[in-house]
């Protein structure tokens, strides 16, 4: 069955976090990162079959799923991993926090790029660790990590650098040379990298390729925790399912020790396992159609946003999350302003930059067009 991404699907009454927020308001939700598309039909079919069985007890990942993960890393990302390195988890944010607590000691430093998906910013303080920022700077229309100023801020007790690649929210896909520059700093300062690569299957720019940090060298393999999940790509975030790939035995056992008794053991992710297996086994044609649709939405959005006076965005290399600069509008509360005009976006301040808003374009073109016309009307309503 070909996917129909144009179909407008009513999500009301499904307890959707995204849609419930504005349920009694005429506000279109373009905030939290899930998509308004049905998941791949092969996934839905596998879930039906599993549900039909009727017994939903404790479940382990089967070898078939482990093989699929190993094959996927090799086939898509030229990264050779071992099954034993995989740690199944109920979510990526959990994993980010476990990484912080298992690698850095209390009071020690954890680094993260800024702006970034906000749990990166909160994980250090939640765990009683301290944070040092690695800035994203915009240079000639390209976002770049400012490693030079980062080096001057690094303390002797900085243990972990958590990166997000592809990056949420600016959509960058780090190149090999950028990753090698990160590696060089980490090698010099003995820093482990936690690399959240959940958006790696969502590369929009055909000139970009996803390179797992851990696959660069022996050093990066032995000093990294890589986080992955089918949740964003296949729109199954509600199942709470992710995995870490941790090649180094010591890092892996520390990670497992911190998890013990607090984060559920990986035997209650039955639905996640079922969905992941179907996604990785049969989901590739659907993913390619999704990418085409998202590329179309992206190109439309880029053109429209940059034609509105006071707004600007750079082309995204990956993700369905646009990062829009609204500073020229001179608004005190840009998020509240657009909400009042019927558009629910994510406030940039949450990610570490109040001059921006994040717009999720994982939705039908029609909905996106409605959002754009509301954004235009909102901006036009401002005094010139
Ligand atoms: C980079 C990144 N990591 C993690 C998550 C959330 O993952 P989970 O729902 O598995 O905690 C998101 C969701 O937007 C994300 O963009």
The residue whose CB lies within 8 Å of the most ligand 1 atoms, and thus the one to mutate among 88, 98, 120, 232, is: 232
Phi, psi of 30 (to 5 degrees): -125, 35
The full set of domains in the chain, from first to last, is 17-41+284-379 (3.90.1150.10), 57-281 (3.40.640.10)
Q: Look-up: residue for tokens 């390179």?
A: 211
Burial zone of 148 (CB within 10 Å; 0-12 exposed, 13-18 middle, 19+ buried)? exposed
Mean pLDDT across the chain: 97
Residue 168 Cα to ligand 1 middle (Å): 9
pLDDT tens digits for range 74-92: 999 999 999 999 999 999 9
C-beta of residue 207 within 8 angstroms of C-beta of residue 175: no
Percent of the chain with pLDDT over 70: 99
Q: What count of other Cβ atoms lies within 10 Å of the Cβ of residue 32?
A: 15
The residue whose CB lies within 8 Å of the most ligand 1 atoms, and thus the one to mutate among 33, 34, 163, 272, is: 33
What's the pTM? 0.97
Mean pLDDT of 224-237: 98
pLDDT tens digits for range 19-58: 999 999 999 999 999 999 999 999 999 999 999 999 999 9
Helix (H, G, I), strand (E, B) or coil at 21: coil
Mean pLDDT of 238-244: 97
Residue 96 Cα to ligand 1 middle (Å): 9
pLDDT at 1: 52
Residue 320 Cα to ligand 1 middle (Å): 13
Closest CA to 1 of 48, 46, 45, 34: 45
- Beta pairing class for 242-245 and 343-344: unpaired
With a 6 Å cutoff on the Cβ, whether 117 touches ligand 1 is yes
C-beta of residue 343 within 8 angstroms of C-beta of residue 28: yes
- Beta pairing class for 142-145 and 130-139: antiparallel
pLDDT band at 235 (very low <50, low <70, confident <90, very high): very high
C-beta of residue 59 within 8 angstroms of C-beta of residue 269: yes
d(CA 367, CA 363): 7
């Amino acid at each position: 069955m070909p996917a129909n991404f144009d179909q407008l699907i009513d999500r009301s009454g499904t307890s959707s976090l995204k849609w419930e927020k504005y349920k009694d308001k005429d506000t279109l939700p373009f905030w939290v990162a899930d998509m308004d598309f049905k998941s791949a039909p092969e996934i839905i079919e596998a879930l039906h079959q599993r549900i039909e069985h009727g017994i939903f007890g404790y479940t382990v990942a089967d070898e078939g799923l482990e093989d699929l993960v190993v094959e996927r890393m090799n086939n898509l990302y030229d990264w050779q991993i071992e099954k034993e390195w995989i740690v199944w988890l109920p979510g990526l944010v959990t994993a980010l926090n476990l990484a912080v607590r298992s690698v850095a000691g209390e009071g020690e430093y954890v680094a993260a790029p800024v702006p970034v998906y906000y749990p990166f910013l909160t994980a250090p303080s939640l765990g009683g660790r301290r944070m040092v920022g690695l800035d994203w700077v915009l240079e000639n229309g390209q976002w770049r990590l400012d490693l030079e100023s980062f080096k001057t801020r690094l303390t002797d007790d900085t243990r972990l650098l958590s990166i997000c690649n592809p990056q949420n929210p600016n959509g960058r896909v780090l190149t090999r040379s950028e990753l090698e520059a990160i590696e060089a700093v980490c090698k010099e300062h003995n820093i482990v990298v936690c690399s959240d690569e959940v958006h790696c299957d969502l590369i929009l720019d055909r000139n970009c390729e996803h390179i797992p940090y851990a696959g660069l060298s022996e050093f990066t393999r032995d000093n990294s925790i890589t986080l992955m999940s089918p949740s964003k790509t296949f729109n199954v975030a509600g199942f709470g399912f992710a995995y870490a790939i941790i090649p180094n035995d010591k890092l892996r056992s520390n990670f497992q020790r911190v998890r013990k008794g607090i984060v559920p053991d990986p035997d209650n992710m039955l639905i996640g396992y079922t969905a992941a297996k179907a996604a990785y086994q049969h989901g590739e044609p659907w993913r390619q159609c999704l990418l085409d649709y998202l590329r179309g939405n992206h190109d439309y959005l880029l053109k429209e946003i940059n034609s509105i006076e006071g707004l600007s965005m750079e082309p995204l290399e990956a993700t369905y999350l646009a990062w829009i600069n609204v500073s020229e509008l001179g608004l005190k509360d840009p998020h509240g302003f657009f909400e009042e005009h019927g558009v629910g976006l994510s406030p940039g301040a949450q990610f570490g930059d109040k001059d921006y808003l994040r717009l999720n374009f994982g939705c039908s073109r029609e909905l996106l067009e409605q959002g754009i016309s509301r954004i235009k009307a909102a901006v036009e309503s401002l005094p010139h």
